[in-house]
Chain A
Amino acid sequence: MLRIRNSSLKSLRLWFVGTCTVISVVTVLSMALAQAPPTARPEEAAGASALNGASLDYFPRDHLFRILGRDVLSAKGEDMGRIVDVLFDEKGAPHAAVIDFGGFLGVGNRKIAVSWSALRFDLGEKKNAIALDLGREQLKAAPEFKPTESDKPIPVVAQPQSSPSETTPDSGR
């Protein structure tokens, strides 16, 4: 500041004009950006011609969600770990979710596959978590999911009523 005051009035004016210009440019730009979403209609942004005839739908953010890395809570609110993978059956329907369960700082965690039907996705209150109809005590000793063991059946834990997949052949532990 001292330097500016010591120099001529002209340079002070230059500073003033320069600052005003920068501020106004930033303001106009930010207004333009703020205006952008409503003006650029989705249909206009990517017209039918750009997609070569494919149709395009837009969904509100809270209607669709990513699943990898999402926290899983039990009915009692226990931390059950995170979803790290989804297993599909031959028909292309999700059959099981692999959750990364337990551990401390990444040591001692176990990957366990749980039946897709044991997951509940009513994301009403806890928007970030998925509910699981199984508790820690039911999950902790389950055989681990090993993606690399191609020759062995995959153990999937499910609720008691849909029993066939709950107990699986012992994986040798």
Chain B
Amino acid sequence: MSRSLRGLDWLNFFVANFQTGFGPFLSVYLTGVGWTQGAIGAALSAGTIAGMVSQVPGGAWVDAVRSKRAAAAAAIVAIMASALLIALWPALLPIVLAEVLHAFASSVLGPAIAALTLALVAPSAFGERLGRNARYLALGNAFAAGLMGTIGWYLSERAVFFLTAALGLPALAALETIRKEDLARPEIHRVAAPAVKPRDDGGLWRVLKDRRLLVFCACASLFQLANAAMLPIAAGMVTKRAGSEASLLIAACIVGPQIVTALISPWAGRAADGWGRRPILLLGFSALPIRGVLLAGFTDPYLIILIQLFDGLGAAVFGVLLPLIIADLTRDSGHYTTCLGVVGLAIGGGATLSTTVAGFMADHFGGAAAFLGLAAVGFCATALVWALMPETRPTTNTASA
């Protein structure tokens, strides 16, 4: 059992590498191989759209498939393939194909890992275990940003994608150490393998109509609407104000919050089990308006790094409580990962809109106005949690199993 849990640790760690190369960094790579800005924009948009479209089908597929391990393995192999495709064949069609493949694989991988986690631990220990997942994911993110930044700078941008593909191997090895026997324990069998299919056909619809799920989707969407654009705009301000050390300072803006997340995630998981979901959710959400206001007020690059640490608090709470609350709402329905996909879609919409709207505000009214706008949205998100989001923790920890 402990071997499986350690496998889950490292799976989360290595999976974190799978996102680093495919976002903004892809445009750096494609610029380097002589792509025009229009073509780069088209390829990235294809990735964004695929990322949204794939969320619900990805989650539903994980629900439907018998072996979550096989689903995770297939997703890892697909992401390795897309990284190789990008490294070896930077032409429009292969890049778009790789972006789409990566989007669908990511939409399977996240829910598959959540489902594996749910199947590995007792419901009463789920919060704490999600905290540990988030810790290793954050450590992996910090490691990936550092390593890939270094390799991109000293070797080549292409090498970053070879490295992404190579890091799929330890991820597969970690997945392999999660033993099948540990997943098939009787008390969690229903959730681990809903091969029994939804018992009644109205099941999924009933789960999706749950008011708590809709409220949480709205909260999560608003959270990302406020959150997603803050780092890019803050990093742009660092470039504007700092000297030759600007790139290092931006790296600190990215890695610093991950360290904070790694430190406090396990606590967030335990506290969500002990005190309840609502207080922790409110704590994490309230970090968002505070960060927005501080970023609007202070423009010194070193202070921006410190303010960015608040991002780690929000990310920890969000990363732990999202899968936890959805599990609270769907535990026995057999629709857990489908609902994760639904929330993922809401989050993706919020994040996409965030960069567009905040970018527009920054261009027309200045960076401070953009941050204040984002802070206002963050405040609304927090208020929405406070006003409408009920406590979802099962009344007695043992009875829910």
Contacts and interface: CB of A to CB of B under 8 A. Distances in A.
A172 B37 contact: no
A158 to B, nearest CB: 19
A106 B25 contact: yes
Given A68-B34, A69-B32, A172-B365, A105 B246 contact: no
B23 interface: yes
Contacts of A144: 363
A85 B37 contact: yes
A146 B35 CA distance: 18
Contacts of A100: 28, 31
A171 B60 CA distance: 47
Contacts of B243: 136-137, 140
Contacts of A104: 149, 235, 247-248, 250-251, 254
Contact of B244 (A78, A84, A105, A173): A78
Contacts of B276: none
Given A66-B34, A69-B34, A101-B239, A106 B363 contact: no
Given A68-B36, A173-B367, A106 B239 contact: no
A104 B24 CA distance: 10
Interface residues of A, number: 29
B35 A107 contact: no
A57 interface: no
B231 A107 contact: yes
B239 A102 contact: yes
Contacts of A137: 243
Interface in A42-78: 66, 68-69, 78
Interface in A101-135: 101-110
B240 interface: yes
B37 A107 contact: no
Contact of B238 (A84, A108, A171): A108
Interface string B30-56: 011111110000000000000000000
A141 interface: yes
Contacts of B57: none
A32 B139 CA distance: 55
Contacts of A172: 363-366
Interface string B175-214: 0000000000000000000000000000000000000000
B3 interface: no
A105 B363 contact: no
